[in-house]
Amino acid sequence: MPEPFLTSGDLLARFQTLDSFLLQHQALWRPRPFHHLHLPWEAELPELAGWLRGRSLEQAEAGDSDLFALPAPAPFPTLAAQAQTLSQLGELPSRNSAERAHALSIDVPGRKLAQIQAFASHLQFRRHPTHWLDWCSGKGHLGRWLTQDDQRLTCLEYDPALVESGSALSKRLGLDARHLQQDVLADDCSERLTQEHTPVALHACGDLHVRLLQLASRNGCSQLAVAPCCYNRIAGKQYQPLSTAAQASALQLSRDDLGLPLSETVTAGARVRRQRNQSMAWRLAFDLLQRQLRGIDEYLPTPSLPSEWFSKTFARFCHDLATLRGMASPGDQDWVALEAQGWQRLAEVRNLELPRNLFRRPLELWLLLDRALYLEEQGYSVRLGTFCEYPLSPRNLLLLAERA
For residues 327 and 291, give the distance between their C-alpha atoms in angstroms, rounded to a whole number.
11
**Interacting positions 71-130 with ligand SAM (CB under 6 A):** 112
Cα–Cα distances in Å, from 327 out to 28, 209, 285, 292, 295?
33, 40, 16, 12, 12
* Of 49-57, 196-204, 281-289, 362-370: span binding ligand SAM (CB under 6 A): 196-204
Encoded amino acid at 106, one letter: I
Nearer Cβ to ligand SAM, position 145 or 366? 145
- Choosing from 157, 339, 353, 402, the residue that interacts with ligand SAM (CB under 6 A) is 157
Q: Under rule CB under 6 A, how many of the chain's residues touch ligand SAM?
A: 17
Nearer Cβ to ligand SAM, position 183 or 298? 183
By the rule CB under 6 A, 142 interacts with ligand SAM: yes
* Of 32-40, 80-88, 135-143, 217-225: span binding ligand SAM (CB under 6 A): 135-143
Picking from 76, 333, 367, 89, the residue whose alpha carbon sits closest to that of residue 233 is 367
By the rule CB under 6 A, 138 interacts with ligand SAM: yes
Nearer Cβ to ligand SAM, position 180 or 327? 180
User: Least distance in Å: CB of 117 to ligand SAM?
Assistant: 12
- Choosing from 67, 83, 133, 202, the residue that interacts with ligand SAM (CB under 6 A) is 202
* Of 123-131, 197-205, 339-347, 353-361: span binding ligand SAM (CB under 6 A): 197-205
Nearer Cβ to ligand SAM, position 112 or 383? 112
* Of 58-66, 68-76, 134-142, 166-174: span binding ligand SAM (CB under 6 A): 134-142
- Choosing from 79, 162, 224, 258, the residue that interacts with ligand SAM (CB under 6 A) is 162
By the rule CB under 6 A, 136 interacts with ligand SAM: yes
**Interacting positions 230-269 with ligand SAM (CB under 6 A):** none
User: Least distance in Å: CB of 139 to ligand SAM?
Assistant: 8
* Of 10-18, 93-101, 183-191, 260-268: span binding ligand SAM (CB under 6 A): 183-191
User: Least distance in Å: CB of 401 to ligand SAM?
Assistant: 18
Nearer Cβ to ligand SAM, position 25 or 203? 203
**Interacting positions 7-46 with ligand SAM (CB under 6 A):** none
**Interacting positions 206-235 with ligand SAM (CB under 6 A):** 208
Give contact residues for ligand SAM (rule: CB under 6 A).
112, 136-138, 142, 156-159, 162, 183-185, 202-204, 208
